[in-house]
Amino acid sequence: MSKVFNRLTHNLSSMDKTKVGLIGLGIMGSAMAMNIHKAGFPLIVYNRTRSKTEPFAKLGIPVANSPREVAEKSDVVIEMVTDAPDVEEVLFGKDGVVNGAHPGLVVIDMSTNSPDYAKYFAGKLAEYGIEFLDAPVTGGDVGARQGTLTIMVGGKREVFERVKPVFEAMGRTIIYAGDVGNGQMLKLLNQIVVGIDMLAVAEAMALARKAGIDMEKLFTVLSTGAANSFTVQYYMPKMMRGDFEPGFRAAHLRKDLKYAIETANKLNVSLPGTALTLQLYNALVAKGLGEKGTQALLKLYYELANISDGQV
């Protein structure tokens, strides 16, 4: 019993000493940062658009003026930004994280890009003596708010173990994926299923509407049978209401599917379903709907079937 108590005391003590910085306070990042704060970690935040830091400032959480300042005042720097170029700017830009490097600093990229970028970031950060983990997440905005995300982590095992309590503040399922890049690879595989599942639900809803099937009955069938999924449970009710506001933006899924196709091409793997889904999201973005939620794919299907929005 005393050993268990001592271990718990040690873990709490280690957690208390770990200063965390989070860069990128979008839909996901802001919720993740709040959960880190609630877990008791000393926190500092940064966001390019200053107004998004206001809820944190009101709680007395320090707001940095640059990624460099975040690094200077943190043991662990998490960045949750849109794409690989944004990660590169945050890490290696004029006031980037590397300019605030100090011994023991760990950088965690929780955005989604590609295994190749993860390896590139890890190699370049190593030149500054900075450890790196790629740790993309899945679970959507609801998982971010509730702290129930699934987190896929690539990098050195000992670094992962050192910062695992930070991950546990944000997620319920923490998976050590192995080498750098494996976290991103798992996320891309997840996005393939997410994208194709959304396509399937949109197709079913478009055909149901044309066939005169009651949408509530369709939802009951899909949500209680073999077709059930997170997309059916969480997004289909929104689609039925005509609610296309983002939990996860369509443009972001398009970006993820693009990385999945690029990775597959390098490995000579044919992904026809993913390729089709990517093309449909390309069309959605071209129509100016990239900032809507991924469920806005239904609007494209309804247009193709000549179904007006009023019939959603």
Q: Please, are residues 36 and 30 in contact by the beta-carbon 8 Å criterion?
A: no
- How many other C-beta atoms lie within 10 A of the C-beta of residue 21? 29
Helix axes 182-211, 272-286, angle to 10 degrees: 70
Please answer whether residues 130 and 106 qualify as being in contact, where contact means their C-beta atoms are separated by less than 8 angstroms.
yes
Q: Which runs of consecutive H residues, i.e. helices, occur in 59-156?
A: 67-72, 84-92, 115-126, 140-146
Which of 187, 255, 292, 299 is an active site residue?
A: 187
For residue 133, give the H/E element and its range.
strand 131-134
Nearest partner of 15 among 130, 132, 168, judged by Cα:
168
Known catalytic residue at 187: yes
Taking each helix axis from N to C terminus, what angle separates 297-304 and 182-211, rounded to the nearest 10 degrees?
40
Q: Which residues are annotated as catalytic?
A: 187
